[in-house]
Structure 1
Amino acid sequence: MGVWSRVRNAFTRDAQITSAEELLAMAREQRGGGGGAVYVTNDTALRHSAVWACLRLRADLVSTMPVDVYRRVNGIQVEVPKPPVLVTPGGAQVGLNEWMYSTQVDLDRAGNCFGIITERSGVVGPDGRGLPARIELVALGDVTVRATGSLITKFVIGGKSYEPWEIWHEKQYTVAGLPLGLSPVAYAAWTIEESLNAQQFARDWFAGGAVPLAELTNTAKTINEAQAKTAKNAFKAAVTTGDLFVHGNDWEYKPIQAAAQQSQFIEARQYGLGDIARFFGCPGDMIDAAVSGSSITYASVTQRNLQFLIMHLGPAVGRRENAFSRNLVSNPRYVKLNTDALLRMDPEARTRTIGLRITNRTLAPSEARALDDMPPFTEDQLAEFDRLFGSRSVPAQPTTVVPGATP
């Protein structure tokens, strides 16, 4: 029986389970864990550079996307003011960028994020209560979830019980019948553990913990344990302080070099990078972990970022938009994360694209100026163009031709 089948069975009755560490332990137990030098948890996984790089990249991008609120008026999307919870969701001390970064890291490494709703607005939400106005995030390890089937009945945070409507809970990587999202760390534990153990072996090796760093041999005679200890201490005392080591012609010092076929930690770490990148939804080349011998060429940075947005980051952005639209704003308003920042073009391509849009009448010149945070042209500025390029001419309006009509 798979680990998540066991977890699902546990939830068919009134169950109590910690959202992050306990599910991770169950996954480790299912795959026969134990005995490893490094025990991987959501926190220890951050010691691996590939895990950190994936989480940082995704959270950096999502947290810096502008969050906008809209509603449709006569079929047209119109931007409306944002509620306070989408400006300073954690109060005056925690702005939106920091709040979004923290929650995205928890979602990507554990499949869940939690916060206590400490303030509500006067706008009634879908549950008949005021919409959240302040959400104070809590550490994953402090949260315990009680559930019956797929329905969460209670949250316990720091020993205190909360009703479901008192808690902000987002989840991703879900499966049917489970009230919690899955933890990528739990499934990636084998790969992460192998890489962390390789790092531990490397540290032990170069610190002298795996094998001796060198050997000091008396080539003239056999010495006893006491004499060996005396020689060792004298040698260490000399080289540690940078002093001279005085000896006869019967001592030989030989460093011991790490044999590649014995350590293999470099190869183990390289293989681990690609696996971890796949678990956490980041292309290897974007975290400097490209596989040796493979090469992917993109026409531009914009094209590369577009592929990353569509194939990796876009679904996570969509889930967050849906969660915010359902629970943080009142219907018919909805929330959108502006992904345009991720698709920035180089100045030449951007100028060319804007020019084409103006020519094709999908963008007004004043709107193009606004994209660069500049006001519309003044009459004096337009007069300068007249002097340089001739009199202004009004483009002809498109003509609709009706078949069979008399011109």
Structure 2
Amino acid sequence: MSTLNDVVWWSRFRGAWRSGTNRLDKDSESLPWNGNSTESGNRVSADTSLRLATVWACVRLRSETIASLPLHLRDSDKNIAVNHPLYRILHDQPNADMTASEFWEAMIASLDLWGNAYALIHRNTKGDVISLDILDPECMTVRRSKTGAIDYIYDKKSDDGKYHEDDILHIKGFTLDGLVGLSPIRYQSDVIGAQVDANNAAGAEFKNNLKAGGFLKTGEKILKTEQRDRLKENLGVFSRPENAGKWMVLEAGMEPASAAHIRINPADAQLLESRNFGVEEICRTFKTPPQLIYHLDKASSWASSLEQMNQGYLTYSLQPTLVRIEQTIARKLLSPADRAKYRPKFSVEGLLRADSQGRASFYSTLVQNGIMTRNDVRALEDLPAHAGADQLTVQLNLTPIELLGRNDEQTKN
């Protein structure tokens, strides 16, 4: 039974209270999530979760991968709109302190850890976006009025203010109401806490040199209290990791019982098994194949090649996030008139790039069937355009039968 002096219970209570709600109803607010305690007493937050190698690897992989994808602004003809004021913000430099890669890496990391990513939108007198500044999700409260209007209250020493919905670029993670995202760390805190427990248990076992406690036989002799205390002290020194493998002198007819030589097998203690299971559970949380974070367990191998793995990772993990970002940018950073003319789009071709032979075959098929021009292919390979290579061409053997020979007849005439 919990009491008023139960520190763990109060920690869980404060964590749950500060977690806000998973829905933003009218006349309510969603408080920032700063962590909570699990049943085992572990304090789980974004910072403590990143100390787990699996969480670090998953968040880093997703954020760096998305940040490495070029983000373009394209017009209705699918041409890159380099002259639009927003293009430089999205593709090159969102603010004076960050490159586009650094900005989106931080935004995706916030999205994966807190379920929400925020950036303050700065506009000039014409209403054009001139910069985007990242805001700390731990300091952001989202409030919805009775009329449905949404405000953002940012409580931080350097900036304590209230912002209207139009002033904040809010990227949401998995959401139940479309207004606030759910933190994967918060909802999977028990899984992460269990992994912390497994790591701590493994560390304790290795610290003790994987040895169990044992027994000493003294025969019919009964040790005095002073002798027993001195013996325990000596055994404590002997059992230290730095003394592993050394010999201990037994006096006065003492003999080691068989249990004193027992060594714990990590597999038998299910430490390795539980830790491997924890890695896969966390990978499920972030929709990341274990192989991509170098968890090379044979049982988890599902792709026969890196290309197939990248395709699956893009389709099931990255694509939903990319679409959400593209649509949010269009809604918040483009004017109503521009939304009909322009659309932001991530270029994902780099993730799907195969080996040289595979790319050559792929490009050849597209060019010979009139799907891409040779300059389109050169652009994908980071090569300069070539004069006269902007025409769509097809193979002659694909020409309809009734048109065969017509060009020759026209030439003769």
Q: Does 1:61 find its partner at 2:65?
A: yes
1:386 matched residue in structure 2: none
Q: Letter of the 2:323 partner, please give it.
A: G
Contact 2:170 2:328 in 1 (8 A): no
Q: Report SS of the residue matched to 1:7.
A: coil
TM-score with structure 1 setting the length: 0.74
Q: Equivalent residues in 2 for 1:1-150 (5 A)?
A: 7=21, 11-15=25-29, 17-21=30-34, 25=36, 34-72=38-76, 76-81=77-82, 83-87=87-91, 89=93, 91-117=95-121, 119-124=122-127, 130-131=128-129, 133-148=130-145
- Corresponding position of 1:200: 200
CA distance 1:103–1:224, shift in 2 (3 Å)? farther
Q: Deviations over 1:235-280 (max 9, x none)?
A: 7668788798784655667455236688433222222222222221
Partners of 1:372 and 1:34 in 2: how far apart?
50
* Superposition deviation, residue 232 in structure 1: 5.2
Distance 1:215 1:58 in 2: 48
Aligned match of 1:155 = 153
Task: Give 2:361's aligned residue.
Answer: 352
Alignment of 1:290-329 (within 5 A): 293=299, 295-298=301-304, 300-329=305-334
Gaps of 5+ in 2: 1-15, 389-393
Match status 1:188 vs 2:188: yes
Shift of 1:185: 1.8
Tell me which residue corresponds to 1:388: none
* Structure 1 contact 19–144 (Cα < 8 Å) conserved: yes
For the 8 Å contact 1:37–1:197, the answer to whether it is kept is: no
Tell me the SS of whatever aligns to 1:281.
Answer: coil
Q: Measure how far apart 1:104 and its partner are.
A: 0.7
| Correspondence for 2:172 | 171
Q: How many Å separate the matches in 1 of 2:151 and 2:350?
A: 40
Number of residue pairs matched by the alignment: 365
* Alignment check: 8 A CA contact 1:146 1:152 kept: yes
Sort the Cα spacing of 1:95 and 1:293 in 2 relative to 1 into closer, same or farther, 3 A: closer
Deviation at 1:218, TM superposition (A): 6.5
CA contact (8 A) 1:83 1:329 kept: no
Deviation digits for residues 335-373 of structure 1, max 9, x if unmatched? 111001110110111122223333334333444344433
Where 2:118 maps in the other structure, the secondary structure is: strand
Q: How much is the aligned-residue C-alpha RMSD, in angstroms?
A: 3.9
Query: Does the C-alpha gap of structure 1 residues 8 and 42 become closer, same or farther in structure 2, counting only changes over 3 Å?
Result: closer
The corresponding residue for 2:9 is: none
How high is the TM-score relative to the length of structure 2? 0.73
Distance 2:211 2:301 in 1: 40
- Find 1:273's aligned residue among 267, 273, 279: 279
Report what 2:13 is aligned to.
none
Quickly say closer, same or farther: Cα 1:65–1:251, change in 2 above 3 A.
Answer: farther
Whether the 8 Å contact between 2:375 and 2:386 is mirrored in structure 1 is yes
Residue 389 of structure 1 is matched in structure 2 by: none
Check conservation: 1:206, 1:213, Cα contact below 8 A.
no
User: Is contact 1:219-1:252 (8 Å) kept?
Assistant: yes
Query: Is the contact made by 1:274 and 1:290 (CA closer than 8 Å) also made in structure 2?
Result: no
- Cα distance change of structure 1 residues 257 and 121 upon mapping to structure 2, 3 Å threshold: farther
**8 Å Cα contact 2:119/2:133 also seen in 1:** yes
How far did 1:318 drift?
0.7
Structure 1 residue 122: Cα displacement: 4.8
* Preserved contact between residue 19 and residue 143 of structure 1 (Cα < 8 Å): yes
Contact 1:88 1:94 in 2 (8 A): no
Distance 1:334 1:296, change over 3 A: same
Cα distance change, pair 396–206 in 1 and its aligned pair in 2 (3 A): closer
CA distance in 1, matches of 2:367, 2:23: 60
Higher relative contact order structure (alpha carbons within 8 Å, sequence separation ≥ 6): 1
Q: Deviations over 1:313-351 (max 9, x none)?
A: 111111111112222344122211100111011011112
Larger deviation, residues 6-15 vs 102-111: 6-15
Shift of 1:217: 3.7
Closer, same or farther: CA 226–10 of 1 in aligned 2, 3 Å: farther
Residue type of the alignment partner of 1:269: R
State the Cα distance separating 1:215 from its structure 2 match: 4.8
Deviations 1:145-197 (A, max 9, x none): 33336642341321612222333321121112x63111122222222222221
Q: Per-residue displacement from partner, 1:68-126 (whole Å, max 9, x unpaired)? A: 11112xxx221111534224555332111111111111112221012333x324553xx
Deviation at 1:214, TM superposition (A): 4.8
Q: Structure 1 pair 64/235, CA: closer, same or farther in 2 (3 Å)?
A: same
> Cα distance 1:200–1:353, how it changes in 2: closer, same or farther (>3 A)?
same
SS across alignment from 1:181? coil
Cα-to-partner distance string for 1:3-47 (whole Å, 9 max, x where unaligned): 99x9367744343x42323xx64xxxxxxx754131222322223
Q: Who is 1:30 aligned against? A: none
